[in-house]
């Protein structure tokens, strides 16, 4: 075993694992970190990796030989060649100076691997005040019913053909929110349903794909979705309708929970807080 849990566990202020992202607190064990090392040089996906929905090979890997693991802190660097390439160093530990150490390491590793970008990812606990970056939120489907929305939300394929055909222009308009990427996968027929709401005969908002898969300990998780509403259609409650429809779908299809990442202070963040989701902590990513 590479990692010592008695060293690592006290530093895990938020349940985030390099290359995997957020994991349920019940599944946050030393095995999750060991698993990422096991596939670091193979390009394989772990069976419970959410990214396996999007490709045949894992792009991001842990730089196993460059991990720093000490009693009071752990630095875990990862490398992706996507775009112009990025090294991220996940900095687990409580002392503030750790960020500077991680930044220095990220910059050196980026240069060594010939990639442009170097980043530091700092997990922060849920008690953090004035947090920035991304909030990790938990929706527990076992806590109570998730009624369906009181409004016009249905799978894209259930809308009339003339409405379905407007999804392409919607996806182009919301490409920055991942909708163009999602639309490309929808056209292959290899992803779960996408829920949409319509205004004046055109798609105005969407959330998806809707898929439930087992996590590392066999609990069924509603996988993360892309979620967007056209700017001109906001303020009408469409985002809440889509959210409620997605949660109803997840509970109806056997999901025990969902983990979400929302930009602190953003619209999705405010919606999730209003819906009573539990905050599990934050991740703050900065350039090295």
Q: What angle do CA 28, 33, 36 make, to 5 degrees?
A: 130
Q: CA 159 to CA 196: how far, in whole Å?
A: 9
**Phi/psi at 279 (5° precision):** -85, 125
Residues 20-33 have a mean pLDDT of: 96
150-189 confidence digits (pLDDT tens): 889 999 999 999 999 999 999 999 999 999 999 999 999 8
3-state secondary structure of 268: helix
Q: Looking at residue 55, what is its pLDDT? A: 84
197-239 confidence digits (pLDDT tens): 999 999 999 999 999 999 999 999 999 999 999 999 999 999 9
In the predicted model, is pLDDT for residue 1 greater than 70? no
Q: Looking at residue 201, what is its pLDDT? A: 96
* Pairing status of strand 21-22 against strand 220-222: unpaired
pLDDT tier at 20, thresholds 50, 70, 90? very high
Residues 232-257 have a mean pLDDT of: 96
Q: What is the pTM of this model?
A: 0.93
- Read off the tokens for 232: 């001109």
Q: CA 15 to CA 225: how far, in whole Å?
A: 19
- Read off the tokens for 13: 């202020």
Q: CA 17 to CA 102: how far, in whole Å?
A: 16
List strand residue ranges (DSSP E) for the chain, in order.
16-17, 21-22, 61-62, 68-69, 73-80, 86-93, 117-124, 134-140, 153-155, 195-199, 202-208, 212-214, 220-222, 226-229, 257-263, 278-287
Q: Looking at residue 151, what is its pLDDT? A: 86
Averaged confidence pLDDT in the chain: 95
Domains of the chain and CATH, by start:
5-136 (no CATH), 143-255 (3.40.630.30)
């Amino acid at each position: 075993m590479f990692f010592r849990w008695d060293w690592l566990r006290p530093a895990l202020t938020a349940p985030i694992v390099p290359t995997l992202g957020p994991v349920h607190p019940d599944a946050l064990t030393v095995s999750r970190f060991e698993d990422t090392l096991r596939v670091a040089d193979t390009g394989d996906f772990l069976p419970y990796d959410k990214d396996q929905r999007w490709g045949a090979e894992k792009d991001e890997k842990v730089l196993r030989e460059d991990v720093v693991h000490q009693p009071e802190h752990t630095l875990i660097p990862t490398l992706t060649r996507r775009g112009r390439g990025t090294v991220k160093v996940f900095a687990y530990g409580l002392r503030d100076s750790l960020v500077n150490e991680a930044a220095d390491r990220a910059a050196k590793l980026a240069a060594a691997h010939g990639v442009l970008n170097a980043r530091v990812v700092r997990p922060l606990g849920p008690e953090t005040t004035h947090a920035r970056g991304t909030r990790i939120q938990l929706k527990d489907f076992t806590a109570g019913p998730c009624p369906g929305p009181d409004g016009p939300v249905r799978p894209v394929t259930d809308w009339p053909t003339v409405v379905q055909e407007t999804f392409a222009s919607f996806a182009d308009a919301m490409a920055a929110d991942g909708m163009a990427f999602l639309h490309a996968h929808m056209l292959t027929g290899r992803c779960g349903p996408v829920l949409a709401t319509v205004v004046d005969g055109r798609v105005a908002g969407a959330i998806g794909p809707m898929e439930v898969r087992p996590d590392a300990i066999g609990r069924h998780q509603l996988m993360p979705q892309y979620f967007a509403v056209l700017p001109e259609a906001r303020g009408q409650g469409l985002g809440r309708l889509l959210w409620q429809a997605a949660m109803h779908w997840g509970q109806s299809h056997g999901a025990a929970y969902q983990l979400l990442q929302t930009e602190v202070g953003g619209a999705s963040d405010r919606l999730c807080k209003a819906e009573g989701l539990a905050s599990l902590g934050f991740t703050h990513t900065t350039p090295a």
